[in-house]
Amino acid sequence: MIRAMKKPTGEGGFTLLEILMAMIILAVGGVGVLSLFAAAVGLQYESVLDQRKALILSDVVADAQQVVNAHAPVEGQMLPPDIEQTPTAQFSRDFEYSVTFSGSGMFPAGEGAVAEITLFYRGNALEPMRRILQRTVFSKSEIEKSVSYARDKLADQQKAGKSDGNGSGLPEDD
């Protein structure tokens, strides 16, 4: 018995063209998801780097403030010495910094400076930042020599109704 060939009724599987189209759609979607993962990893890396820079910058500003406070201005050297490229002590060994001091014009000579801070990440300089630092620690002799000290002492004497006899209101040398 020979059977006659039947025409397909559409109950079969998928055609090759349908499978190919499904694979293309899945590939495009997969590439999109992978690119989102790569972008997220890059943003996370930049975020961690920015956090480290902020922590390190606060330490560097504190170091620069210590240098400004420790510097006793003398004739010819009113600004503290610069800090050359120095490795950071904590957070990351990949960072180094340098600080250059310049006059601010905002303070009397020797009482403050502008600190230009440059951070280096793996040897590459990042954008320099400027901070204005005012001297916050003075010796007793420096305080007594300051103009504001003499002015305050005169005001205190005038409030108390005292006069020193030399007419200036300034304390006499002993």
User: What distances in angstroms separate CA 136 from CA 68, 104, 144, one per listed residue?
Assistant: 8, 15, 15
Predicted local distance difference test score (pLDDT) of residue 136: 80
Look up residue 79 and give its two tokens: 């600004």
- If pLDDT is split at 50, 70 and 90, which confidence band does 45 have? very high
pLDDT tens track for 72-94: 777 777 788 888 877 776 656 78
Query: What's the pTM value of the predicted model, to 2 decimals?
Result: 0.59
In this model, does residue 41 exceed pLDDT 70?
A: yes
Q: d(Cα 47, Cα 90) in Å, to the nearest integer?
A: 18
Per the listing, tokens 């300034």 go with 170
**pLDDT category of residue 68 using cuts at 50, 70 and 90:** confident
- CA dist 170 and 174 (Å) reads 12
Q: Looking at the predicted structure, is the pLDDT value of residue 6 above 80?
A: no
Helix (H) or strand (E) holding 56: helix 16-70
pLDDT in tens, 89-133: 665 678 888 899 988 777 777 778 899 999 988 888 988 999 988
pLDDT on residue 161:
78
The chain-wide mean pLDDT, for the chain, equals 81
Strands 112-121 and 129-134: antiparallel
| Res. 40 pLDDT band, cuts 50 70 90 | very high
> Residue 15 is which amino acid?
T
